[in-house]
Structure 1
């Protein structure tokens, strides 16, 4: 019985920004739990090899190339997925970007680019998918937050601002859509070795700081996010709603 609670067989999952990194790791985890995953990105040249890797492992994967910041493209893509793949049961709002600068050096254009990619996209895709889920009275939405949803850090103010917004969007989506049978939760990754964190991965001083700051004393590996995603996407989390699950090696637990 307990194993069946985590079974995603027959369900369709759309994961935005999933050609690599955290999005790809989560998509793989959902597919390994039985879901048919739809990978999303703006570049077919990088997206298709990612889907091919999953298919080569015997998993069900397809692609949807569209810009998550374009309202028309989002609406058309959701319609196409529902028609060609099946009703979207699970949405993971993962698409995001990072820019590192002293706050006083950010331009308004750079600020807006980060906020649009990290916040507007989750609103646009979340709304489009929820409009399909509401009449069916079921669905799982997982928004990718961050430890910076809780913690400030120099040189990434637009990013941390966006992730604080995603945390509150998650709670507000729950307040709006739980009555329709939709579970909306977030995952807050700590520091994982991804392309967004390349500058930190290559920094000896940051690695030394992380070894002292994180109770587990190390970087996270992206596959370590899969279990949290499967839990929040499955029947095992049927009464979990509006919650942010931090997968951070204990970073947010300590000062």
Structure 2
């Protein structure tokens, strides 16, 4: 295989990529990598201002983009996102399950309300999104479903008792599909970030003592940034990764070790 052939396998021209929670952090970095590779992308959030800002920015770069405001924890959230994509960009080829709710509570403090919210977005929406987008991928014999997991699945902190359980359950769903769906052109994988400097983690990592404790567990000696996840996602969601199915790829600097 020549270098040009290898590089062309990362090309996403003609593909439609849906990354949930794509206006910031890891979802934003992945969406921008997909768009740079040629895909049409979706700016999705629960915040109208964030969506509008991303649509303006990405459109100015010459990318094909649609905006969608949808709460995946609401009864009509998945349906609204699916309809928005279908009407504006067409049938999706790539689905990245990135949006999640993380409520930090030790087991004694977990409430029904927090369990319900995390379950609705992290699990119920996962089921709904797959049921909405997978059939068309299977019928065309090309598709990519990628879940963004968490290092909390392997190294759970006490405060992530319920959240880590929802992410582990999501991974189980993806691996079940990878084993049993047997769709030749459709793959199911998990990308598992470690400590990444996102808006969600910025306040905690701004505490020098907390950051020092985190860094003690990372062999590469640095906190990751959202762009660290983009290349791995592009591999798993392009033809370059067509024979990668059922993988759980850690992007954590070795934190899981």
Unaligned runs of 5+ in 2: none
Deviation at 1:179, TM superposition (A): 2.4
Counterpart of 2:135 (choices 128, 131, 135) is 131
TM-score by length of 1: 0.93
Runs of 4+ residues deviating >6 angstroms: none
- Counterpart of 2:113 in structure 1 is 109
Residue 184 of structure 1 aligns to a residue in which SS?
Answer: strand
Q: CA deviation at 1:198?
A: 3.0
Contact 1:95 1:121 in 2 (8 A): no
**Using the alignment, how far apart are the partners of 2:196 and 2:251 within structure 1?**
10
Number of residue-to-residue matches in the alignment: 253
Distance 1:156 1:73 in 2: 25
Deviation, 1:163, is: 1.3
Name structure 1 gaps, 5 residues minimum: none
Q: Does 1:20 align with 2:24?
A: yes
* Aligned counterpart for 1:6 among listed residues 3, 10, 22: 10
- What corresponds to 1:167 in structure 2? 171
Listed one character per residue, the Cα deviations across residues 169-200 of structure 1 (whole Å, up to 9, x for unaligned) are 11012124332531111110011111221342
**Contact kept in structure 1, 2:82 and 2:133, CA below 8 Å:** yes
Distance 1:95 1:34, change over 3 A: same
Q: Is the CA contact (8 Å cut-off) linking 1:42 and 1:65 kept in structure 2?
A: yes
3-state SS, counterpart of residue 37 of structure 1: strand
Whether 1:99 and 2:103 are equivalent positions in the alignment is yes
Question: Residue 153 of structure 2 corresponds to which residue in structure 1?
Answer: 149
Give the equivalent residue in structure 2 for 1:57: 61
